[in-house]
Amino acid sequence: MNDLQIHSKITSMEIDVLQALHQRTLEKYTAGPSIERARLFFLLLPFFDGKQWSNDIEDSAKTVAIVYAALHAHDQVEEDSPISKSQQLTVLAGDFYSGIYYQMLSNTNNIKLIQLLASGIIGVSEKKASLYEKTIMPTSGVEAAAEVIETELLNIFYNFYGFSQYRAISKPALEYVHFSNQLDAYRNGVETNILRKLNHALPLPLYSERWLLDKLDASHAELTKVLDAHPMDFGLKNFMLHQITPHQHLAEQLTREG
């Protein structure tokens, strides 16, 4: 499968998810649903790798993407801001997306997966809540929180359908994407919950950039090592390394040091 076919399939699922979540008023007053293409890629990875793929599995993959959109919508509510119409609708958007997800799964009578995802949502929500706490969290705790937030629901999907062999691939890749976004936020002067925790855990806020760059190097090296040992099509591996985790930050770092 070439890059164009991979992008086409991801776009097809993205359109399906956006159509499922479409609500005119919510989209007028909120940012709309957040659909991460990298996450869609990993939900579709077994399909790309030639595994048996049914309509039920694809529908379940879409519902996991919707759950992430619901969780992201709730994250956009600003804790210290006055409750505005936009804020209220953002909360409603998260609830609306959650309702769509439950409806889609119940239509397939997939009660067991509903139960597993409900448990996973609790775990993800607890980790997100921990980032709001005033206590200092060590960098290892930051890493652990990011891992659960980014991969827990995907892992439930993998395990449920017998695709657990992809967990070792998705973990470093999605962590890379997550911390790359954190680095971009840092450089743009945006303080996220993760950055706030890092700034408190490290001796100086300036060390956060160094920590993030080191984390990106480690995640990319881990992904490369796992892919080298995995019997997967070269084109698919190449897509992951150059489209999902291009690691442009390493080139920037080498340029500065050179």
The full 3-state SS of 16-77, as one line of letters, equals: HHHHHHCCHHHHHHCCCCCCCHHHHHHHHHHHHCCCCCCHHHHHHHHHHHHHHHHHHHHHCC
Q: At what angle do helices 55-75 and 3-21 cross, to 10 degrees?
A: 60
How far is residue 142's CA from residue 138's CA, in Å, rounded to a whole number? Answer: 7
CB-side neighbour CA atoms (13 Å) of 177: 22
Strands (E), 104-245: none
pLDDT at 186: 94
How many C-beta atoms lie closer than 10 Å to residue 94's C-beta? Answer: 22
**Single-letter amino acid code for the residue at 91:** V
DSSP 165: G
- Residue (of 50, 254, 249, 78) closest to 165 by Cα position: 50
186 near 198, Cβ under 8 Å?
no
- Residue (of 64, 48, 54, 53) closest to 16 by Cα position: 64
CA angle 168, 170, 173 (to 5 degrees): 110
**Single-letter amino acid code for the residue at 257:** E
226 near 168, Cβ under 8 Å?
yes
pLDDT at 133: 86
How far is residue 160's CA from residue 255's CA, in Å, rounded to a whole number? Answer: 44
pLDDT in tens, the chain (258 residues): 899 999 999 999 999 888 887 665 555 655 556 688 999 999 999 999 999 999 999 989 998 998 888 777 655 555 554 455 455 555 555 555 566 666 666 676 778 888 898 888 888 888 888 988 889 999 999 999 999 999 999 999 999 999 999 999 999 999 999 999 999 999 999 999 899 999 999 988 789 999 999 999 999 999 999 999 999 999 999 999 999 999 766 545 544 544
Q: What is the DSSP string of 166-217?
A: GHHHHHHHHHHHHHHHHHHHHHTT---HHHHHHHHHSSSTTHHHHHHHHHHH
221 near 241, Cβ under 8 Å?
no
> In this structure, what token pair is assigned to residue 88?
């209220």
How far is residue 61's CA from residue 17's CA, in Å, rounded to a whole number? Answer: 10
